[in-house]
A and B are shown apart, each in its own frame.
Chain A
Amino acid sequence: MSTTSEIAMNDSQKSVSPESATKPIIEIIGMHKWYGDFHVLSEINLQVMPKEKIVICGPSGSGKSTLIRCINRLEEHQRGQIIVNGTELSNDIKNIEKVRAEVGMVFQHFNLFPHLTIIDNLTLGPIWVRKTPKKEAEEAAMMYLEKVQIPEQAKKFPGQLSGGQQQRVAIARSLCMNPQVMLFDEPTSALDPEMIKEVLDVMIGLADEGMTMLVVTHEMGFAKSVADRVMFMDDGEIVEQNSPDAFFDNPQHERTKLFLSQIL
């Protein structure tokens, strides 16, 4: 039932209340995860403050996607705690659904619903999860479509859009749920080079508005200009994290140096 005016209010409340500013919105304590016998994530500790933008990078197979997928329980963790917005993730399906509604996620392959029009893709969550009246949901959806600059595509189907447009729709779909946090799982990796910029621009705009963001990406330019903190993961561990300047100019760890030398 949250309208745009309410979001604005929430935002301003957050910024004035010192309590919420000091309390992390995501807290991961001593978390481990296994796929069968394979130990994918080991002793993960992470605190994310409201409005913080974190970029996670690392070689493929390092567990960075798995980490952010644990935050909305697309993956289960076996040890430790994950607390999102005051709710601890466990097997309780009600808690999981509550967290998922508060955490938006953007996937590498967009994962739009191909049988629904763009506008229906956007209003599905608000109507069925938030119980927003249809008309209100559609108005909000149009607003977000304008924000990602494709309102004219509202009546089309995902299959008729370019990759970049689809990914912007996917971002708008997540925003329609008024999430507290947005997770991005390699949002530009499946895009043609000329479409990467349009998606990054939308993400930069979102960051400027104060959205809490966790972004798994190889776009180091984005990391430098937007991130508050850059995290490097390798072999299921958080190896190093620092402000972008310090991270790129003065990496501490050998593995980080090697990784940066390979991609920059």
Chain B
Amino acid sequence: MSETYDFLFKFLVIGNAGTGKSCLLHQFIEKRFKDDSNHTIGVEFGSKIINVVNKYVKLQIWDTAGQERFRSVTRSYYRGAAGALLVYDITSRETYNALTNWLTDARMLASQNIVIILCGNKKDLDADREVTFLEASRFAQENELMFLETSALTGENVEEAFIQCARKILNKIESGELDPERMGSGIQYGDAALRQLRSPRRGQAESAQECGC
């Protein structure tokens, strides 16, 4: 079981109960909708390697319980997260109203530079919509969040949400805004990047050898 990747990012999925956090994760990883899912107690996990701007990034995703009561528990999982999907349900204003609380927690407890993408899930239930796209995108802008409306049922924008979030983190690393080596950045070098870092010339040497053959 050898996995090669350049970076490992710790991701969170947060938001109220019943907004579809676990289903988003399941859709992202298995590429299908889980219609008989249990509710998450505590935390569940997923991981996937994606290719973003020519880098292999392994996402280590922490899918947390949504009930308010569990916050004291789930808060302890925020530490060192590099990215987060903040999920609400477009058919439930209540889940939208709770966003500020979730956001405060995430900014306070995860890494300072955490990249958050707001996901208005259940896009397929447009007829029951209680939160407009415009309103949510304004909220996202005011709070410096990326924003997508997603559907864990159809898969629309699900992969995009994870990829966009990862891409932004990579950009921040490249621009120097994020330092992966800082403690609690939520970023680790993968094997590939480590090899390059330790012996930047080794790649050349190997290819030179190949030429000699």
Partners in one complex: no
Mark A residues whose CB is within 8 Å of B. none
Q: Chain B: residues with CB nearer than 8 A to chain A? A: none
